[in-house]
Amino acid sequence: MIKRALWLLLLMTLGAGGWLAYFLSTPVALPVTPFEFDVKSGITMKRVAQQLAQAGVLKQPFAFTLAARLTGKGSALKAGNYALNEPLTPWELLQKLTKGDVTQSEIKFIEGWNFKQLRQALDSAPNLQHDTRGLSDAEIMAKLGWPKQHPEGRFFPDTYFFSHGMSDLAILGRAHKLMQTHLENVWRERAANLPYDTMNKALIMASIIEKETGQAAERPMIAGVFINRLHSGMLLQTDPTVIYGLGDRYDGNLHKRDLLDDTPYNTYLRAGLPPTPIAMPGIEALRAAVNPAPTRALYFVARGNGTHKFSASLAEHNQAVNKYQRQQ
């Protein structure tokens, strides 16, 4: 009985292997030629297989994903833009996806990055023509057609696809235009009675909001606190601006001496907004800067779990500080 079961299991395994081999060696059908599709950073092989099945390319997405796992290629997926110019087998498609045989590469600018981090990403990106290397920030902005503009916060954080050999200046140009477009769109929908009257100041505020919280749901409340402070004549007293002003002198910890260092970005000593943005804000931070949550809160403190406790009075805030600092 056991021997018979083993033979049956062997036959089933051979049958499954034969079916998988047949699937992997049978050319796929292309809905159009060339057929182009994007593979985003962080996407799984399973999700790519499902997308190709929905497009009519793969008939058996499960078998494709299984083959990727069995051959150790499941986690070797390369992001980029792919073009299929002729029918190829699922095995050839898997090879293409894991070798990174792309028509376009991608680069990602992350929300909250400063311009220095953005430049480092450009410099380390393969397949780009690095025309900005060795240039000062001012020289880069001049080449982009904005010679009097500070670069900080002027580029929209997003994923950008590019063909091999494209200039990094072209990527920056697209990111700059996209930030300007988003900024203009949210500015048209701004709330009344904001404490700033220009898009540039809204961008500065958005950059501070971006650095203060990673929780999208909290950004309108963070904006409401800072706008209440500006309306009441209070100092903004926000650590991210101080850190930005320290530059390379920041060692990972904010010291009392840092709060007394009178840079143009020290909002513990100087009233109003800092002179420039301090990072690249995403769309949620931009929206929050021009449409803050209605609130009486003037203070907030980190709870230690990624969220904040908001308070309308200093006494309430001090209680929250004592509670959550003790927990931490």
156/238 same-domain check:
no
66/165 same-domain check:
no
Confidence at residue 155, expressed as pLDDT on a 0 to 100 scale:
98
DSSP SS3 for 255: coil
* Residue 197, burial from CB neighbour count under 10 angstroms (0-12, 13-18, 19+): exposed
Question: Dihedral through CA 205, CA 207, CA 208, CA 214, nearest 10?
Answer: 130
Six token digits for residue 70: 């069995």
Q: Is residue 11 part of a domain?
A: no
DSSP string, 61-101: HHHHHHHHHHTT-TT----EEEEE-S---HHHHHHHHHHT-
> How does pLDDT run across 11-36, given as a tens digit for each residue?
445 444 566 778 888 888 888 878 88
Q: Report d(CA 186, CA 194) in Å as an integer.
A: 13
242/122 same-domain check:
no
206/243 same-domain check:
yes
Cα–Cα–Cα angle for 314, 317, 322, rounded to 5 degrees: 125
Task: Tell me the sheet residues that pair with 38.
Answer: 81
231/282 same-domain check:
yes
48/137 same-domain check:
no
- Alpha-helix runs per DSSP H in the chain: 2-25, 45-54, 61-70, 90-99, 115-124, 137-143, 168-188, 199-212, 219-232, 239-246, 256-259, 283-290, 314-327
Q: Is residue 254 part of a domain?
A: yes
299 — phi, psi (to 5°)?
A: -140, 160
CB atoms within 10 A of CB 45: 22
Of 62, 86, 102, the one marking the end of a domain is 102
* 229 close to 308: Cβ distance less than 8 angstroms: no
Integer CA distances (angstroms), 28 to 54, 73, 90, 175, in order: 13, 19, 7, 37
Confidence at residue 12, expressed as pLDDT on a 0 to 100 scale:
47
Of 183, 204, 224, the one marking the end of a domain is 183
Q: Is residue 165 part of a domain?
A: yes
Confidence at residue 39, expressed as pLDDT on a 0 to 100 scale:
85
Closest alpha carbon to 282 in 210, 176, 187, 197 = 210
Q: Is residue 121 part of a domain?
A: yes
Residue 256 has pLDDT above 50, yes or no: yes
Q: Is residue 6 part of a domain?
A: no
> How does pLDDT run across 195-253, given as a tens digit for each residue?
999 999 999 999 999 999 888 889 999 999 999 999 999 999 999 999 999 999 988 88
126/86 same-domain check:
no
126 — phi, psi (to 5°)?
A: -75, 160
pTM of the model: 0.73
Q: Report d(CA 92, CA 79) in Å as an integer.
A: 17
Q: What mean pLDDT comes out for the span 298-305?
A: 87
Greater pLDDT, 100 or 152: 152
Greater pLDDT, 11 or 181: 181
Q: Is residue 292 part of a domain?
A: yes
65/114 same-domain check:
no
Of 60, 84, 102, the one marking the end of a domain is 102
DSSP SS3 for 106: strand
Closest alpha carbon to 77 in 54, 51, 57 = 51
On average, the pLDDT of the chain sits at 89
Domain holding 41, by residue range, is 24-102
Q: Is residue 16 part of a domain?
A: no
Confidence at residue 326, expressed as pLDDT on a 0 to 100 scale:
66
Domain of 48, CATH number, reads 3.30.1490.480
> How does pLDDT run across 263-294, given as a tens digit for each residue?
999 999 999 999 999 999 999 999 999 999 99
211/278 same-domain check:
yes
Number of domains in the chain: 3
Which residue matches tokens 């060795």? 134
Q: Which residues contact 296 (CB under 8 A, 6 or more apart)?
A: 228, 312
214/279 same-domain check:
yes
Task: Tell me the sheet residues that pair with 160.
Answer: 107
49/137 same-domain check:
no
> How does pLDDT run across 109-150, given as a tens digit for each residue?
999 999 999 999 999 998 889 999 999 999 999 999 999 999
Q: Report d(CA 286, CA 288) in Å as an integer.
A: 5
Q: Is residue 154 part of a domain?
A: yes
93/129 same-domain check:
no
